Structure 1
Amino acid sequence: MTLYIGRESSKLWKRFCAEIATEINLLAVNWKYLLAGLICQYIHGLAAHGVHYIHRPGPVLQDIGFILLPELGQDKAYISETLFTFIFLSFVLWTFHPFIFKSKKIYTVLIWCRVLSFLACSQLLRIITFYSTQLPGPNYHCREGSKIARLPPPESVLELLLLKSPRGMLYGCGDLIFSSHMIFSLVFVLTYQKYGMQRFIKQFAWLLAVIQSFLIVASRKHYTVDVVVAWYTVNLVVFFVDKKLPELPDRTTGAVALLLPLSTKDKDSKTKEENHKLLNGNSGDSMDWRPRIQVNGKILEDGNGLHNDSAMNGA
């Protein structure tokens, strides 16, 4: 039993080290895209923080979701955040599963480049939307009478850039249309829908996204329009952006070898394969796979070559 555990631990460690080496090579090529995606996340946070300064509380707008869904109340508002945290952490863990599990289809660096591009495009549209028109926030801390419904002007540019405000970004107001929580949730679900391997998890993920939508409205964090707009906007963004991005290499076909430098062993193996093809009269080019006929110690391409040789000999 101890020997078996030790053997499996050794295999797991080797797999982990091999995956680390592969991801480092991919990171060396794609770090600029990851950095740009992270910068876009900061810009989005900065914009959401900035709109809080111009937010003005007012009466909560009439909303069909507020009429149909019972209000959870402040004491149960954590339910929505708990579900979102579960979706977020589950997706992050899934993107790192190739480091441990044998059944793996994705590369962590490449999948996050894709996810960050979806997020950046969706968040850009969100910034344009909530700066166009500021609605009175329906959340409890954004209503009239709350101390943080309005923020005093920033004392310095540094205060704005460091996102300093009462209770930080957790209690923002004004950044309503459309829901940021739904952007993340839908991007994660759509990504797993395409690259995930478990059908049951895909169906369960869509169910969680729907439940998340209802909980956001029931906890009065957003109006119903914020959630509805997020559903069709994020799906369209992912659809069109995905068409512009290069397709991820499939691990099962070894296509990623084109992205990574060949090791000495791989180079030797490739050289031996090429030599084997040359010895068999095959250059390796699929267009050059023609039948060859040997006559009088000479290799001819086909019957036409035999006819020409006979004609030259006067036959």
Structure 2
Amino acid sequence: MRQKNSIGKYTDDLWRKIATETALEVQILLEKWQLLLLGLIFQYIHGLAARGVHYLHRPGPVLQDLGFMILPVRLRLFSFSFPNVYDMMFRQFLLQWTFHPFIFHSKRFYTVLIWRRMLAFLVASQMLRIVTFYSTQLPGPNYHCREGSELTTLPPPDSVWELLLINFPQGVIYGCGDLIFSSHMIFTLVFVRSYLAVCRCIKALAWLMAILQSLLIIASRKHYSVDVVVAW
């Protein structure tokens, strides 16, 4: 009976905390929603810019790359785990940031504020990225960006809507030309840095996953090594 009372008390306290934190988060959201909305809108603008440079991409010989020499083509089989590693990191950090204040007793941050700050850093990095990949267009090293592939250069769009819709998600997965510097590494490093600012319990694992993803990006030939180095 005492155990049931303890469980019931814990459940009541948990729901009370969730209700209190939700009310606080909603209040902060009503005050800070403008920058959050701008950050989310810019994610579309960044995707639109990456789609636009694909129309300008021209295939050519893959550049000499030290990372490609160290991680040869036969490791391409292992590179297919790259999307899984990225998705796992994204979901882990998403859940941690979003639900940490609602469940754990140690109150260190607000969900709205951490997302607001994270989006601000992403927007700044993505603005620099757009400038760099439009300034210097390299032949894509990915297999669908090489000569002979139907996806290496896009035909002119039939309408403005074809460009604006950016063919999501295929247009993101099979893009070419948006190389310097790696968007995946931008997200990963912002995630890791933001995560470590609020939770240091798995610091070594977070950095290990970031390094592993860097190697998988190069092994999959999604980017040249310089794209990953510049992102870091």
User: What displacement does 1:190 show?
Assistant: 1.3
| Corresponding position of 1:230 | 231
User: What displacement does 1:12 show?
Assistant: 1.1
CA 1:184–1:166: 2 relative to 1, 3 Å: closer
Partner amino acid, structure 2, of 1:217: I
CA 1:145–1:162: 2 relative to 1, 3 Å: same
Q: Is the partner of 2:229 in helix, strand or coil?
A: helix
| Corresponding position of 1:240 | none
| Corresponding position of 1:14 | 16
| Corresponding position of 1:172 | 175
| Corresponding position of 2:70 | 68
User: What displacement does 1:194 show?
Assistant: 2.2
CA 1:72–1:193: 2 relative to 1, 3 Å: farther
Summarize deviations over 1:170-211 as a string: whole Å, max 9, x none.
11100000000000011111112222242xx11211111111
CA 1:72–1:187: 2 relative to 1, 3 Å: farther
Matches within 5 A, 1:1-315: 1-71=3-73, 75-96=77-98, 97-164=100-167, 167-198=170-201, 201-231=202-232
Partner amino acid, structure 2, of 1:227: V
Contact 2:122–2:186 (CA under 8 A) maintained in structure 1:
yes
Summarize deviations over 1:128-164 as a string: whole Å, max 9, x none.
0000111111111111111111111111111111112
Q: Which runs of 5+ in 1 are unaligned?
A: 232-315
In 2, the alpha carbon distance for the partners of 1:89 and 1:123 equals 21
CA 1:166–1:5: 2 relative to 1, 3 Å: closer
Partner amino acid, structure 2, of 1:230: A
CA 1:76–1:145: 2 relative to 1, 3 Å: farther
Partner amino acid, structure 1, of 2:194: T
- Structure with the bigger RCO (C-alpha within 8 Å, sep 6+) is 2
Q: Which runs of 5+ in 2 are unaligned?
A: none
Q: Is the partner of 1:111 in helix, strand or coil?
A: helix
| Corresponding position of 1:237 | none
Contact 1:179–1:227 (CA under 8 A) maintained in structure 2:
yes
In 2, the alpha carbon distance for the partners of 1:41 and 1:166 equals 13
Question: How many pairs does the alignment contain?
Answer: 229
Give percent identity, aligned residues only: 59
- What is the TM-score of this pair, normalised by structure 1? 0.70
- What is the TM-score of this pair, normalised by structure 2? 0.94
Partner amino acid, structure 1, of 2:45: I
Contact 2:76–2:219 (CA under 8 A) maintained in structure 1:
no
In 2, the alpha carbon distance for the partners of 1:63 and 1:103 equals 46
Larger Cα-atom Rg: 1
CA 1:138–1:194: 2 relative to 1, 3 Å: same
User: What displacement does 1:72 show?
Assistant: 5.1
In 1, the alpha carbon distance for the partners of 2:211 and 2:75 equals 20
Partner amino acid, structure 1, of 2:126: Q
Q: CA RMSD in A?
A: 1.5
CA 1:215–1:74: 2 relative to 1, 3 Å: closer
In 2, the alpha carbon distance for the partners of 1:74 and 1:54 equals 27
In 1, the alpha carbon distance for the partners of 2:54 and 2:78 equals 24
More helix by share: 2
Contact 1:74–1:140 (CA under 8 A) maintained in structure 2:
no
User: What displacement does 1:104 show?
Assistant: 2.8
Summarize deviations over 1:228-257 as a string: whole Å, max 9, x none.
0111xxxxxxxxxxxxxxxxxxxxxxxxxx
In 2, the alpha carbon distance for the partners of 1:75 and 1:154 equals 34
